[in-house]
A and B are shown apart, each in its own frame.
Chain A
Amino acid sequence: DIQMTQSPSSLSASVGDRVTITCRASQSISTYLNWYQQKPGKAPKVLIYAASSLQSGVPSRFSGSGSGTDFTLTISSLQPEDFATYYCQQSYSNIRTFGQGTKLEIK
C-alpha cells in the first residue's frame, strides 16, 4: 500500500502567518493527492483535490502544489478559523490512504 507521510505533525503559528504543510508519498502518485481540514468533533472537509484544484467555496488563501512524491499545502495568511488538523490523502490507488495529520495551533 502507498504510505503518506506529513510534516510537521504539529505546528504553531499566528494569525496572518504564511504556513506550509508537506506530504510525501512512498511512491510516485502523479497528482492524485487531496487535502482535507478537520475541526474537533466534525467530519473532514475537502480543500484541494488533484494536488492543486481548489474545492468550490474554499477561500483562495488555500493552495496546493506538487506532483510525483512531494506535495505542499499552503495557507497564505492564516485566519482564526484555519486552526485545525490537516490531512493529505492519495487516490492513485484504489486502496486509499491518508497522512497522519498536521495539527495547526495558535501561537
Chain B
Amino acid sequence: QKEVEQDPGPLSVPEGAIVSLNCTYSNSAFQYFMWYRQYSRKGPELLMYTYSSGNKEDGRFTAQVDKSSKYISLFIRDSQPSDSATYLCAIYQGGSEKLVFGKGMKLTVNP
C-alpha cells in the first residue's frame, strides 16, 4: 500500500459547486497535513496546513483531518473558475525533511 493515496480524477464541476478532495494515508506517525495547489505550468504552492484532527477554515477552503481513519479532506465552497488547478495533499511524518505527496487531483470549475 502506498503511503498516501489520492484519487487523481480529473474532476469537473460547475461554478458554485462544493468540491471535496480526499486523501488517505497509511502511517499513523504522520504529523502534519498540507494541501498544495498547482496551476497549469506553475510549481505547487501551499494552500492549507494543519497538524491536528478536526477542521481548519480559510475563506472558502476547509481542511479536515481524521487521524483515527487516516483520512484528510479539502472542501472548497462556492467554487470559482479560478480554483481550476491540480490539488496535491502532502504529509510530513517527522525524522526527515521529506514530504510525502499524493498524486494530485486535477479540478476544473466550469463557468
| A and B interact physically | no
